[in-house]
Amino acid sequence: MRIIFMGTPDFSVGTFEALIAAGHDIVLAVTQPDKPKGRGGKMQYSPVKEKALQHGIPVFQPKKVREAKCIEKLRAYEADIMVVIAFGQILPKEILEMTRYGCVNVHASLLPKYRGAAPIQWAVINGESVSGVTTMQMDEGLDTGDMIMKAEVALDDKETGGSLFDKLSEAGASLCVKTLEALEEGTAVFEKQGETTTEYARMLHKDMGSIDWKNDAQTIERLIRGLNPWPSAYTKWDGKVMKLWEADVVLQNSKGEPGTVVSVEKDSFCVQTGDGLLKVRSLQIPGKKRMEADAFLRGYKIEEGCELG
């Protein structure tokens, strides 16, 4: 197929590569404009742009893809289909209906669960045992189009937002190739979405990583994993921000108040929560790299009765 590929972040790259490997002709890569990064403000390409340039594929970076001149530019490529993965802009009807096969999206959840911007992280935070990817025919709604194919992915007990991201990126790449094969062969089956009873997968922001120690230990532990690597879960210690990267749940309670360090061992320390203890295994403080708790305890003093929060 002649494909216009629309995507921006790392999650899109696996599918981009898989389509090329499958013999499809990506005639144009559409991605978000370059953005400044770091203290020097150096302009940085999106992962999709970098990959497209490596393959010698033309790149288009519209600020507003719905503008008439942008729509006409896309039309000129006479593509058979558009594949859209985390592009970052809402597509108008003119683009959705421009090609023979329309726009196919790869969404990182088992729709209709977790429509929205951050389905991967919310699956971990909410304690799902199974997630997956769905290919769908895009419409003007937000992740509401007809479903075409699904692939399930089991979550490990210590799954993080980052590890699930990698699993779903790989699964989505394979599923997209299979979906395009079915569309070409005329065997694709389209299924209407029902209404989801699951919380909308709203966008992540840094403030949501602030740990409320009144929550139970299991809820906090899932938050830590779900927000790893970004934006990270954190608390305050000795006036500093302490990021927590790994922890275990201990199903017992102490007499301490939530947020109180109730025991310090050689390789960890336990914090009382609203229900249960949280055993901290890995953390980070300002100016330091991520470290295991035993390394932290060798260099810094944290005592029973110390309050976090």
Instruction: Give dist(CA 288, CA 100) in Å, integer.
Output: 53
What is the rounded average pLDDT of the residues 154-179? 98
Q: DSSP letter at 156?
A: P
Structure tokens at 25: 């002709």
pLDDT at 196 over 70: no
H-helix segments, the chain: 10-21, 47-54, 68-75, 93-96, 119-125, 161-185, 217-226, 293-299
Instruction: Give dist(CA 268, CA 270) in Å, integer.
Output: 7
Q: Is the separation of the CB atoms in 85 and 12 below 8 Å?
A: yes
- Range of weakest confidence among 8-17, 35-44, 70-79, 276-285: 35-44
Neighbours of 116 (CB within 10 A): 17
pLDDT at 217 over 90: yes
pLDDT tens for 127-142 read: 999 999 999 999 999 8
Structure tokens at 78: 């006479």
Neighbours of 273 (CB within 10 A): 26
In angstroms, how far apart are the furthest CA atoms of the chain?
70
pLDDT at 252 over 70: yes
Question: Residue 198's pLDDT is what?
Answer: 66
